[in-house]
Amino acid sequence: MEKTLVIIKPGAIQRGLIGEVIHRFERKGIQLCGIKMLQLTDEILTEHYAHLAQRSFFKRIKDSMMITPVIVCCLKGFDAVNIVHEMAGKTNGREAAFGTIRGDFSMSIQENIIHTSDTVENAEVELARFFSETEIFEFDQYNLNFLYANDEI
């Protein structure tokens, strides 16, 4: 099974959406196997958003991500990276489909509730950035037979 990273951003923290966001993934059948609150630093954000370093909004994004602590989650499931990324919706909340997290809770391209890994490779790098091996837990999810067909498990 794949693992992926979700960061619940400061705007969602301020708006009291932590439980709602996690609830949606759990209802889908995605397993939460690591979670913690942390205050992001300029250093870690510079690394995390390095692909945006030359963009005019780079500093604004970093500043926004340090307003409050964030919640980082490790989620697990079959095709978890794609499913979680699709559940998030388009980056711009005004363009995100209703029923997605951003489509239901965001009006902004920047203040868009969550970050999700977009590829399996990026998920591995991002999870290692925010979690040690001892902070991600492996345990049986007893409802798998009700989430997947026998030949999918």
Residue 23 annotated among the catalytic residues of the structure:
no
Give the CA radius of gyration of the chain: 15
**Contact predicate 46/53, CB 8 Å:** yes
Please tell me what DSSP assigns to residue 30.
Answer: P
How far, CA to CA in Å, does 111 sit from each of 9, 28, 91? 8, 24, 9
Strand order of the sheet with strand 2-8? Answer: 31-38, 70-77, 2-8, 114-116
**Contact predicate 75/25, CB 8 Å:** yes
Catalytic annotation, residues: 115
